[in-house]
Structure 1
Protein backbone atom coordinates (compact mmCIF):
# COMPACT_ATOMS: atom_id res chain seq x y z
CA UNK A 1 0.00 0.00 0.00
CA UNK A 2 3.04 2.29 0.15
CA UNK A 3 1.94 3.84 3.45
CA UNK A 4 4.66 5.20 5.67
CA UNK A 5 5.01 6.87 9.01
CA UNK A 6 3.30 10.25 9.00
CA UNK A 7 1.05 9.43 6.02
CA UNK A 8 -2.65 10.09 6.43
CA UNK A 9 -5.18 7.45 5.38
CA UNK A 10 -8.95 7.19 5.32
CA UNK A 11 -11.04 4.16 6.26
CA UNK A 12 -14.59 3.25 5.27
CA UNK A 13 -16.26 0.49 7.31
CA UNK A 14 -19.35 -1.13 5.78
CA UNK A 15 -22.22 -3.05 7.40
CA UNK A 16 -20.94 -6.34 5.99
CA UNK A 17 -17.64 -5.88 7.84
CA UNK A 18 -15.68 -4.81 4.76
CA UNK A 19 -13.08 -2.14 5.40
CA UNK A 20 -11.75 0.02 2.59
CA UNK A 21 -8.50 1.91 3.07
CA UNK A 22 -7.90 4.98 0.94
CA UNK A 23 -5.15 7.55 0.63
CA UNK A 24 -5.97 10.80 2.32
CA UNK A 25 -4.27 13.97 1.21
CA UNK A 26 -4.53 17.01 3.39
CA UNK A 27 -3.68 20.41 1.99
CA UNK A 28 -2.36 23.06 4.38
CA UNK A 29 -4.69 26.07 4.48
CA UNK A 30 -1.96 28.43 3.28
CA UNK A 31 -1.50 26.29 0.12
CA UNK A 32 -5.18 25.79 -0.72
CA UNK A 33 -5.13 28.61 -3.32
CA UNK A 34 -2.83 26.50 -5.52
CA UNK A 35 -5.44 23.73 -5.78
CA UNK A 36 -8.39 25.92 -6.81
CA UNK A 37 -9.93 25.24 -10.22
CA UNK A 38 -8.99 28.71 -11.43
CA UNK A 39 -5.35 28.44 -10.40
CA UNK A 40 -4.94 24.94 -11.86
CA UNK A 41 -6.44 26.16 -15.17
CA UNK A 42 -3.89 28.96 -15.18
CA UNK A 43 -1.09 26.45 -14.59
CA UNK A 44 -2.27 24.43 -17.60
CA UNK A 45 -2.41 27.59 -19.71
CA UNK A 46 1.07 28.66 -18.58
CA UNK A 47 2.50 25.22 -19.37
CA UNK A 48 1.00 25.43 -22.87
CA UNK A 49 2.59 28.86 -23.42
CA UNK A 50 5.96 27.59 -22.21
CA UNK A 51 5.75 24.49 -24.43
CA UNK A 52 4.90 26.68 -27.44
CA UNK A 53 7.76 29.05 -26.52
CA UNK A 54 5.36 31.99 -26.17
CA UNK A 55 7.40 33.50 -23.35
CA UNK A 56 9.79 36.37 -22.78
CA UNK A 57 13.00 36.60 -20.77
CA UNK A 58 14.04 39.72 -18.88
CA UNK A 59 17.40 40.34 -17.26
CA UNK A 60 15.93 42.54 -14.55
CA UNK A 61 12.66 43.55 -12.96
CA UNK A 62 13.03 46.96 -14.58
CA UNK A 63 13.32 45.36 -18.03
CA UNK A 64 10.19 43.31 -17.33
CA UNK A 65 8.22 46.37 -16.21
CA UNK A 66 9.35 48.29 -19.30
CA UNK A 67 8.23 45.40 -21.50
CA UNK A 68 4.83 45.23 -19.79
CA UNK A 69 4.45 49.00 -20.09
CA UNK A 70 5.19 48.74 -23.83
CA UNK A 71 2.23 46.40 -24.20
CA UNK A 72 -0.19 49.11 -23.05
CA UNK A 73 -2.96 48.80 -20.53
CA UNK A 74 -1.60 51.19 -17.96
CA UNK A 75 1.45 51.50 -15.76
CA UNK A 76 2.84 48.35 -14.23
CA UNK A 77 4.73 49.01 -11.04
CA UNK A 78 5.33 47.20 -7.75
CA UNK A 79 3.74 50.07 -5.83
CA UNK A 80 0.53 49.97 -7.83
Structure 2
Protein backbone atom coordinates (compact mmCIF):
# COMPACT_ATOMS: atom_id res chain seq x y z
CA UNK A 1 0.00 0.00 0.00
CA UNK A 2 1.36 3.41 -0.95
CA UNK A 3 0.51 6.78 0.49
CA UNK A 4 -3.13 6.85 1.41
CA UNK A 5 -5.36 9.65 0.20
CA UNK A 6 -8.99 9.73 1.13
CA UNK A 7 -11.49 11.16 3.54
CA UNK A 8 -12.44 10.39 7.11
CA UNK A 9 -15.88 11.21 8.43
CA UNK A 10 -16.20 13.35 11.54
CA UNK A 11 -18.97 11.80 13.59
CA UNK A 12 -20.81 12.86 16.72
CA UNK A 13 -18.74 14.50 19.48
CA UNK A 14 -15.82 14.94 17.05
CA UNK A 15 -15.05 11.24 16.61
CA UNK A 16 -12.97 10.62 13.48
CA UNK A 17 -13.31 7.19 11.87
CA UNK A 18 -10.12 6.05 10.14
CA UNK A 19 -10.17 3.43 7.37
CA UNK A 20 -9.40 -0.10 8.57
CA UNK A 21 -6.33 -0.42 6.32
CA UNK A 22 -4.71 2.59 8.01
CA UNK A 23 -5.62 1.39 11.50
CA UNK A 24 -3.98 -1.98 10.74
CA UNK A 25 -0.92 -0.46 9.04
CA UNK A 26 -0.18 1.85 11.98
CA UNK A 27 -1.33 -0.60 14.66
CA UNK A 28 -4.07 1.74 15.83
CA UNK A 29 -6.35 -1.22 16.61
CA UNK A 30 -4.03 -2.22 19.47
CA UNK A 31 -5.00 -1.39 23.05
CA UNK A 32 -3.66 1.97 24.13
CA UNK A 33 -2.94 3.23 20.61
CA UNK A 34 -3.22 6.99 20.30
CA UNK A 35 -2.97 9.72 17.70
CA UNK A 36 -0.82 12.77 18.25
CA UNK A 37 -2.58 15.83 16.85
CA UNK A 38 -0.69 18.89 15.57
CA UNK A 39 -2.20 21.98 14.04
CA UNK A 40 0.08 23.72 11.58
CA UNK A 41 0.05 27.46 10.86
CA UNK A 42 -1.12 26.78 7.30
CA UNK A 43 -4.39 25.26 8.55
CA UNK A 44 -3.36 21.62 8.16
CA UNK A 45 -4.17 19.20 10.98
CA UNK A 46 -1.62 16.38 11.24
CA UNK A 47 -2.37 13.04 12.89
CA UNK A 48 0.60 10.89 13.92
CA UNK A 49 0.09 7.35 15.22
CA UNK A 50 1.70 6.63 18.57
CA UNK A 51 1.81 3.62 20.82
CA UNK A 52 2.15 3.92 24.60
CA UNK A 53 5.09 1.48 24.49
CA UNK A 54 8.11 2.22 22.29
CA UNK A 55 8.42 -0.26 19.42
CA UNK A 56 11.82 -1.51 20.64
CA UNK A 57 10.23 -2.45 24.00
CA UNK A 58 7.14 -4.18 22.62
CA UNK A 59 8.78 -7.63 22.93
CA UNK A 60 8.30 -7.34 26.69
CA UNK A 61 4.54 -7.13 26.24
CA UNK A 62 4.26 -10.10 23.86
CA UNK A 63 2.08 -12.94 25.12
CA UNK A 64 5.05 -15.33 25.28
CA UNK A 65 7.15 -12.99 27.38
CA UNK A 66 4.25 -12.11 29.66
CA UNK A 67 3.63 -15.84 30.22
CA UNK A 68 7.29 -16.20 31.25
CA UNK A 69 6.90 -13.21 33.59
CA UNK A 70 3.85 -14.85 35.22
CA UNK A 71 5.77 -18.11 35.59
CA UNK A 72 8.68 -16.28 37.24
CA UNK A 73 6.29 -14.50 39.63
CA UNK A 74 4.71 -17.85 40.55
CA UNK A 75 8.18 -19.31 41.23
CA UNK A 76 9.03 -16.36 43.47
CA UNK A 77 5.73 -16.63 45.34
CA UNK A 78 6.30 -20.37 45.88
CA UNK A 79 9.86 -19.85 47.10
CA UNK A 80 11.45 -21.59 44.11
CA UNK A 81 14.60 -19.47 43.96
CA UNK A 82 18.08 -19.26 45.44
CA UNK A 83 20.07 -16.25 46.60
CA UNK A 84 23.82 -15.78 46.47
CA UNK A 85 26.23 -13.65 48.49
CA UNK A 86 28.50 -12.90 45.56
CA UNK A 87 29.00 -13.41 41.83
CA UNK A 88 31.47 -16.25 42.34
CA UNK A 89 28.99 -18.41 44.25
CA UNK A 90 26.31 -17.67 41.63
CA UNK A 91 28.64 -18.69 38.80
CA UNK A 92 29.70 -21.85 40.66
CA UNK A 93 26.04 -22.81 41.13
CA UNK A 94 25.31 -22.09 37.47
CA UNK A 95 28.28 -24.25 36.41
CA UNK A 96 26.93 -27.07 38.58
CA UNK A 97 23.50 -26.79 36.97
CA UNK A 98 25.08 -26.82 33.51
CA UNK A 99 27.12 -29.92 34.35
CA UNK A 100 24.05 -31.67 35.76
CA UNK A 101 22.01 -30.79 32.68
CA UNK A 102 24.72 -32.13 30.37
CA UNK A 103 24.95 -35.32 32.44
CA UNK A 104 21.19 -35.94 32.04
CA UNK A 105 21.33 -35.18 28.32
CA UNK A 106 23.69 -38.11 27.67
Please classify the TM superposition score into its range, dividing by the shorter chain length.
0.5 to 0.7
Q: What are the residue-to-residue correspondences of 1:43-54 with 2, within 5 Å?
A: 43-54=69-80
1:53 positional shift: 0.8
Counterpart of 2:89 in structure 1 is: 63
Higher helix share: 2
Counterpart of 1:30 in structure 2 is: 56
- How many residue pairs were aligned? 60
Give deviations 1:12-43, integer Å, cap 9, x for gaps. x878x2338x9536121221121111111110
Q: RMSD over aligned Cα, in angstroms?
A: 2.7
Residue 33 and residue 23 in structure 1: after superposition, are their counterparts in 2 closer, same or farther (change >3 A)? closer
> With structure 2 as the length reference, what TM-score do the two structures score?
0.45
More relative contact order, 1 or 2 (CA 8 Å, 6+ apart): 1
Larger radius of gyration: 2
Extract unaligned runs of 5+ from structure 1: 1-12, 75-80
